[in-house]
Amino acid sequence: MDYNINFPHLHIYLQHVIKSISIGSFGIAMYGIIIACGMLAGLGVACYVAKKSGQNPDTYFDLALVAIICSVIGARIYYVVFRWDLYKDDLLSIFNIRQGGLAIYGGVIAAIITTFVFAKVRKLSFPLLCDTAGLGLILGQAIGRWGNFCNREAFGDYYDGLFAMQLPVSAVRTSDLTEKLMSHTTVIDGVEYISVHPTFLYESFWNLCLFILLMLYFKHRKFDGEVFLLYLLGYGIGRFWIESLRTDQLLIPHINYPVSMALAATLVAVSAIWIGIVRYKQMKMGKMVDTPPQSSTKE
């Protein structure tokens, strides 16, 4: 395999981007290492925010023990369901996640369900848990996307602009190659390259910016749950655009429309409406409190 990854217009040429490291005879995928780093960073942020906001940080350690496992399972199930053609002839490969194949929306859905059950069992505020854990989640996503970089996956179609990324054809799954990509290949030193949108980079940067904005807004939130709704709204906007560029879209059966774009649009609409409704109710309640009662006098 050719390990080069180039960003020619930025004059960045990476000669040996490895997919795994070996400890003795045991190989560890870089994808898994990066995902684990993202999880640890996210947990650290959640505990920090919990402490600053008067919550018990240990709560989020307990939540993480369950939510991380459930999220990985949910992300894998989501991916397998919508890429069943890749696994139907080799069911055991479903359990091999070392080569990638995790859909973040599946992980988010599983995390929300897990957090809801956790809040009910512990008798805690579900919206507050979502606000705090959501900040860790978005940072974890920003870091975790670099696992796709090492795996040479989750990239866009042909692109030769400023941020164009060149990948060796031999290092990419054939199912991710499009006719457009293959009609614009470049041969460098005997190696055939495709030139693509680095959508992993777009999403990582988008998530990092969203994380910073939500961290700054956390103490100014108008109600518990607002930060998490803003996360869903902001992430959905970015994901809708970025997903439209990718060549490995998960499609809704029979409709053949990208499921992540449909889900992103739904989350944006629902989150915006939800925030609007709560804010409107708060505004009405504020006016009722601020308006002095009218005295009734008889003439």
Terminal CA-to-CA distance of the chain, rounded, Å?
A: 95
Q: What is the pLDDT of residues 198-207, one digit of tens each?
A: 999 999 999 9
- Torsional sign, CA 46, 47, 53, 54: positive
Task: Establish how many alpha carbons lie within 13 A of residue 216's alpha carbon, considering only the half-sphere containing its beta carbon.
Answer: 6
Query: Minimal CA–CA distance to 99: which of 156, 28, 36?
Result: 28
Instruction: Say if residue 295 is exposed, middle or buried (CB neighbours under 10 Å; 0-12, 13-18, 19+).
Output: exposed
| CA separation for the pair 44, 271 (Å, rounded) | 26
Beta bridge partners of 165: 196
> Is residue 145 annotated as involved in ligand binding?
yes
Query: Minimal CA–CA distance to 126: which of 229, 252, 264?
Result: 229
Output the pTM of the full model.
0.88
Which pLDDT score is estimated for 105? 85
Beta strands in 99-190 (DSSP E): 165-168, 186-188
Which pLDDT score is estimated for 118? 96
Q: What is the pLDDT of residues 218-274, one digit of tens each?
A: 999 999 999 999 999 999 999 999 999 999 888 888 888 999 999 999 999 999 999
CB contact set of 273 (below 8 Å; sequence gap of 6+): none
With 60 as the cut, is the pLDDT of residue 17 above it?
yes
| CA separation for the pair 276, 154 (Å, rounded) | 34
